[in-house]
Amino acid sequence: MPVVDLSMGGGVSSHAARRRSARLQRRESVRQRVQEQTNAAQGLPGDNAEAMSEEETDPEYVVEVAVGGSDSASILDDDDEMTDDEDSDEETEVRISFLSTGAARMQRRMRLEGQLSKLQRIPDDPTPIQQHINDLVKKHSCAINPRHRHKMGKGAGEGIAKLPAMLRLREANMLGNNAGFSAPQRCHMGAHLFRPDVPIEMIDRMQSRAYIGQFSADGDVFVAAFQHDRRIRLYETENNWRLRKDVHCRNLRWTVTDTCLSPDQQFLLYASINPTVHMVNMHAGGVESEANVTDIHEALHFDVTEERDSGYHHSFGIWSLRWGSDGREIVAGTGDHSLYVYNVERQKTVLRITGHQDDVNAVAFLEGSSHLIASGSDDTLIKVWDCRALGRGAKPAGVLVGHSEGLTHLDSKGDGRYLLSNSKDQTARLWDIRKMYSAQEFNRLPRPNIPSFGNWDYRWADFPARGYIVPHPHDVSVQAFRGHSVLQTLIRAYFSPAHSTGQRYVYTGSADGSVRIYDIVTGRTVNQLRYHHEIVRDLSWHPYEPMLVTTSFDGSVVQWEPRRLLEDSESDEDAGESSRPVRRRALPDDPGDDRLEDFY
């Protein structure tokens, strides 16, 4: 430690000199702690560490550390100079506390940089090429002129017809005996024609965040749920988006967390951050649906009946809701780390599965029947459950491992094999449940060595490893999709519809207000749609029409369609054959920027 001369001149008292000496000793102690933390973070011993630059210091505090051959060291604020004026011990302790906080932040920052240096950066996403698809189309196509439909069969025409016209003829089975594709081939070959990429209409706009947006199974109804308005609006898609039902929700806590429709499209369920789900008849009463005034909002209590009757209050929130295809059971993922199975006929909860270590944010049925259920949790795991072998203390049929952060959504392909997940680790992943670990295999897995980001909370901060690939040593996923942002809320991801695309794509909302469409085989982004200025939490692709509808925190519900089909429609209109309905609302250039604060 360098010798400090305390003889400041001017008759300094011995008491002041002792105070100043004690203060310098405390500062020297802080300097040594900072140096030790710096060396530990940089992996350097003793005084061989290089001096930290100003960029590495916390911006709130100016901390100067001179090491590695320097004769003196000081830990002083910019305006803190040695004068005859005495600082109080309280002020000195505050400075030391500030300096320690700054040093801790620097240490965390350097630890993060050390973790990121070991990770692989996400490569730039190349523009996907459709040439191989066009080559296949040409190979299996007759060269025909669509204006001469009577000349079908071998040798009918020269050159290659326009792809849209050719596909229409092929779908009509007018290209000869050997020229047609099978139904799956037709979907895959023409899928790129049905990718919505142009916003054409604002269906609705509320002064509140839109949390939910989903088509019914037949596509005739679209459901949108809004937070602060506490409303769920049902639109008739085949009737110029006429409002069928305006549901004023009952007993909400914060927002509507999820909705679902019954298999027969007769009833709507809505859930919130409490253990009660409400059921509304979609066809009863008028448009306005006020709970127990104009309509009955029947309460379905998911907390266990015996506990409720005994007076024990077990409160939890419901984050995800699914109605089984047979209409008999409803499954909910909850905030008490559980899955609840509710029997509609018996009007009671028949099963509670406590199979996770954190909130269950997503549930999904894996097939047409209600036997296999998947659950995704903040404990980073996806577990598959067989309802035919469940009971108290039941074990999962299998576990899917690969995410490094919590799950936000699950979607099933509907074939009992493939599953799609979205996660706070900024990836969506495709899974084949035939590759899942059994419960016994999972219990034998060693603890994974993956980067940990401490107390990072996706609601308030950006992902620390954005732009990097965070590998999981036990990953069994089939494909990973990267590029979208999962922050602040439980953003959803889905398979594209089978009828128009053959489920060739995966699409998801994003915290930056965009929509990403990925190729399911290559994992590459094939479209990034931009219009919204706030988070796109939920979105839905029409099951039969080339139409996508997005719901955003800017309060807007927007319809998208493929540019190519719009151009074909405009050409038909120019020729006097108008087949597309007149647009009901003009789409503004700016959906607004009414940002709201303090949200999940």
pLDDT digits (tens, 9 = 90+) for 415-433: 989 999 999 999 999 999 9
Rounded to whole angstroms, how far apart are CA atoms 345 and 418?
A: 30
- Is residue 163 situated within a structural domain? yes
Rounded to whole angstroms, how far apart are CA atoms 12 and 86?
A: 11
- Is residue 80 situated within a structural domain? yes
Banded model confidence at residue 578, pLDDT cuts 50, 70, 90: very low
Same domain, 289 and 367: yes
Does 202 have pLDDT greater than 80? yes
Same domain, 238 and 386: yes
Does 203 have pLDDT greater than 90? yes
Q: Which of 390-404, 439-453, 564-578 has the lowest mean pLDDT?
A: 564-578
Rounded to whole angstroms, how far apart are CA atoms 192 and 76?
A: 63
Residue 13: the pLDDT is 59
Same domain, 413 and 304: yes
pLDDT in tens, 208-245: 999 999 999 999 999 999 998 899 999 999 999 999 99
- Is residue 5 situated within a structural domain? no
Residue 30: the pLDDT is 72
Rounded to whole angstroms, how far apart are CA atoms 303 and 275?
A: 6
Helix, strand, coil shares of the chain as percentages rounded to 5? 20, 30, 50
Residues ≥6 apart with Cβ < 8 Å to 534: 209, 513, 552, 553, 554, 593, 595
Beta bridge partners of 320: 333
Banded model confidence at residue 166, pLDDT cuts 50, 70, 90: low
Same domain, 160 and 258: no
Banded model confidence at residue 523, pLDDT cuts 50, 70, 90: very high
Same domain, 260 and 401: yes
Residue 219: the pLDDT is 96
Q: Which of 34-43, 279-288, 458-467 has the lowest mean pLDDT?
A: 34-43
Residue percentage of the chain with pLDDT more than 90: 48
Q: Which residue has the higher pLDDT, 433 or 160?
A: 433
Domain finish residue from 118, 152, 180: 118
Residue 121 corresponds to which tokens in the numbers above?
A: 């950066």
- Is residue 2 situated within a structural domain? no
Same domain, 292 and 365: yes
Same domain, 69 and 143: no
Residue percentage of the chain with pLDDT more than 70: 66
Which SS3 state, helix, strand or coil, does residue 295 take? strand
Q: At what angle do helices 163-171 and 563-574 cross, to 10 degrees?
A: 90
Same domain, 40 and 164: no
Closest by CA position to 412, among listed 425, 396, 426, 400:
400
Same domain, 214 and 308: yes
Residue 477: the pLDDT is 97
Owning domain of residue 168: 131-189
- Is residue 591 situated within a structural domain? no
Beta strands 372-377 and 382-386, pairing class: antiparallel
Residue 598: the pLDDT is 37
Q: Which residue has the higher pLDDT, 367 or 358?
A: 358
Same domain, 558 and 424: yes
Domain finish residue from 174, 189, 204: 189
Q: Which residue has the higher pLDDT, 43 or 377?
A: 377
Beta bridge partners of 550: 539, 558
DSSP collapsed to 3 states, 329-343:
EEEEEECCCCEEEEE
Average pLDDT for 373-397:
88
Q: To 10 degrees, the CA torsion angle through 160, 165, 166, 167?
A: 140
Which SS3 state, helix, strand or coil, does residue 494 take? strand
> What's the one-letter identity of residue 346?
R
Banded model confidence at residue 49, pLDDT cuts 50, 70, 90: very low
Cα angle 513-192-411, degrees, rounded to a multiple of 5: 55
CA 323 to chain centre: 22
Banded model confidence at residue 569, pLDDT cuts 50, 70, 90: low
Does 358 have pLDDT greater than 60? yes
Check if the beta carbon of residue 49 is closer than 8 Å to that of residue 38.
yes
Banded model confidence at residue 142, pLDDT cuts 50, 70, 90: very low
Which SS3 state, helix, strand or coil, does residue 356 take? coil
Beta bridge partners of 243: 235
Banded model confidence at residue 69, pLDDT cuts 50, 70, 90: very low
- Is residue 599 situated within a structural domain? no
In the sheet with 221-226, reading across from the earlier edge strand, the strands are 210-215, 221-226, 231-236, 242-248, 288-290
- Is residue 361 situated within a structural domain? yes
How many domains is the chain partitioned into structurally? 3
Domain finish residue from 189, 210, 229: 189
Residue 469 corresponds to which tokens in the numbers above?
A: 């690939």
Residue 305: the pLDDT is 55
Same domain, 42 and 94: yes
Same domain, 202 and 239: yes
Residue 408: the pLDDT is 98
Predicted TM-score (pTM) of this structure: 0.71
Banded model confidence at residue 503, pLDDT cuts 50, 70, 90: very high
The CATH number of the domain holding residue 486 is 2.130.10.10
Residue 100: the pLDDT is 60
